[in-house]
Chain A
Amino acid sequence: MEKIKKLKPELLGGFRDYLPEMMLPKQAVLETIRRTFEGFGFLPLETPALERSSVLGTDTDEFKMEVYRFDASGQDVTLRFDLTVPLARVVAAYPQLLKPFKRYQVGPVWRKEKPQAGRYREFIQFDADIVGSDSVLADSEIIELMYQTLTNLNVDNFIIRFNNRKILNGLSRVVGFDDKRSMDVFRVLDKLDKIGLDEVVRELQRQPDNQYDESALAISDEGIVKLKEFLMLSGSLEELRSFFQGVEIALEGVDECSQIIDNLRALAIPEKCWKFDLSVARGLGYYTGPVFETTLLDIPQMGSIFSGGRYDELVVRYTGERMPAVGASVGVDRLIAALDALGKIKKKKTNSKVLVAFASQNLDKKALTLARQVRQAGINTETFLGRDTSLKNQIIYAVKQGIAFVIILGEDEEAIGRIKLKDMVSRQEFLYSLDEAIEKINQS
Chain B
Amino acid sequence: MRRGFKPRRSLQLFWTDQPIGPFFMFFVDKNIFLPYYRKMDKIEPRLLKGFTDFLPERMIIRQKMIQTIKEVYELFGFLPLETPALEHADILIGKYGDEGEKLLYKFLDNGGRAVALRYDLTVPLARVVAQYPELKKPFKRYQVAPVWRAENTQKGRFREFYQCDADIIGTSSLMADAEILSLIWRTLKTLKVDNFTILLNNRKVLDGLLKDLGLPEENNLAVLRIIDKIEKISAEDFKKELLAIIGDDKKMQLVLDFMNSQGDLDLVQKLFPSAKEGADELKEVCRHVESLGVDRKNYKIDFSIVRGLDYYTGTVYETRLNDLPKFGSVFSGGRFDNLISKFIEQSIPAVGASIGLDRLFAALEELGIMKKIKSTAKVLIVNLEDDLKSEYQKIASCLRDEKINAIVYFDKISLGQQLSYASEMEIPYVLIYGSKEKEKGKIILKDMLEKTQAEVNLAEIIARIK
Verify if B130 is at the interface (C-beta below 8 Å from A).
yes
Query: Do A386 and B51 have beta carbons less than 8 Å apart?
Result: no
Contact of A385 among B45, B85, B168 (CB under 8 A): B168
Contacts of A79 in B (CB 8 A): 85
Query: Do B76 and A375 have beta carbons less than 8 Å apart?
Result: yes
Top 5 A-B pairs ranked by shortest CB distance?
A266-B390, A382-B77, A41-B407, A43-B56, A20-B79
Query: Do B343 and A8 have beta carbons less than 8 Å apart?
Result: yes
Query: Do A380 and B291 have beta carbons less than 8 Å apart?
Result: no
Interface string of B396-424 (1 = CB under 8 A from A): 11001001111111110000000001001
Query: Do B288 and A365 have beta carbons less than 8 Å apart?
Result: yes
Question: CA separation between A412 and B5, bound complex, in Å?
Answer: 75
Q: Which of A261-284 contact B (CB under 8 A)?
A: 262-263, 266-268
Query: Do A144 and B397 have beta carbons less than 8 Å apart?
Result: yes
Query: Do B77 and A351 have beta carbons less than 8 Å apart?
Result: yes
Query: Do B128 and A112 have beta carbons less than 8 Å apart?
Result: no
Query: Do A16 and B80 have beta carbons less than 8 Å apart?
Result: no
Per DSSP, are chain A's interface residues mostly helix, strand or loop, or mixed? mixed
Verify if B146 is at the interface (C-beta below 8 Å from A).
yes
Verify if A77 is at the interface (C-beta below 8 Å from B).
yes
- 11 additional contacts, CB 8 Å, given A9-B128, A141-B410, A148-B400? A18-B80, A39-B404, A41-B375, A45-B56, A47-B54, A54-B43, A68-B109, A93-B47, A319-B42, A350-B77, A372-B291
Question: CA separation between A276 and B435, bound complex, in Å?
Answer: 31
**Shortest Cβ gap from B38 to chain A (Å):** 7
Question: CA separation between A269 and B83, bound complex, in Å?
Answer: 38
Q: How many residues of A contact B (CB 8 A)?
A: 108
The segment from A97-105, A235-243, A289-297 found at the interface with B is: A97-105
Question: CA separation between A92 and B62, bound complex, in Å?
Answer: 23
Contact of B86 among A15, A26, A72 (CB under 8 A): A15
Verify if A108 is at the interface (C-beta below 8 Å from B).
yes
Question: CA separation between A137 and B408, bound complex, in Å?
Answer: 9
Chain B positions near chain A (C-beta within 8 angstroms): 2, 4-6, 8-9, 38, 41-48, 51-56, 59-60, 62-63, 74-77, 79-88, 90-91, 105, 107-110, 113, 115, 126-128, 130-132, 135-138, 140-141, 146, 148, 150, 159-160, 168, 170-173, 175-176, 178-179, 182, 186, 287-288, 291-293, 342-345, 375-377, 383, 389-391, 393-394, 396-397, 400, 403-411, 421, 424-425
13 A-B pairs, CB-CB below 8 angstroms? A7-B90, A24-B79, A40-B400, A49-B146, A77-B48, A93-B46, A144-B393, A144-B397, A320-B41, A375-B76, A379-B75, A382-B76, A385-B179
Contacts of B109 in A (CB 8 A): 12, 68, 112
Q: Which of A133-147 contact B (CB under 8 A)?
A: 133-135, 137-138, 140-141, 144
Contacts of B288 in A (CB 8 A): 365, 368
Contact of A320 among B42, B393, B404 (CB under 8 A): B42
Verify if A387 is at the interface (C-beta below 8 Å from B).
yes
Verify if A6 is at the interface (C-beta below 8 Å from B).
yes
Question: CA separation between A369 and B83, bound complex, in Å?
Answer: 34
Query: Do A266 and B405 have beta carbons less than 8 Å apart?
Result: no
Contact of B59 among A44, A69, A130 (CB under 8 A): A44
A137 with B160, Cβ < 8 A, contacts A51-B48, A110-B85 known? no
Contact of A27 among B60, B62, B80, B343 (CB under 8 A): B80
Q: Pick from B54, B55, B409 the residue with the most CB of A within 10 Å.
A: B55
Question: CA separation between A381 and B47, bound complex, in Å?
Answer: 43
**Shortest Cβ gap from A316 to chain B (Å):** 9
Contacts of A318 in B (CB 8 A): 42-45
Verify if A397 is at the interface (C-beta below 8 Å from B).
yes
Contacts of B377 in A (CB 8 A): 41
Query: Do A49 and B85 have beta carbons less than 8 Å apart?
Result: yes
Query: Do B342 and A48 have beta carbons less than 8 Å apart?
Result: no
Query: Do A385 and B425 have beta carbons less than 8 Å apart?
Result: no
CB nearest to B113 among chain A residues: A12
A90 with B137, Cβ < 8 A, contacts A17-B83, A267-B390 known? no
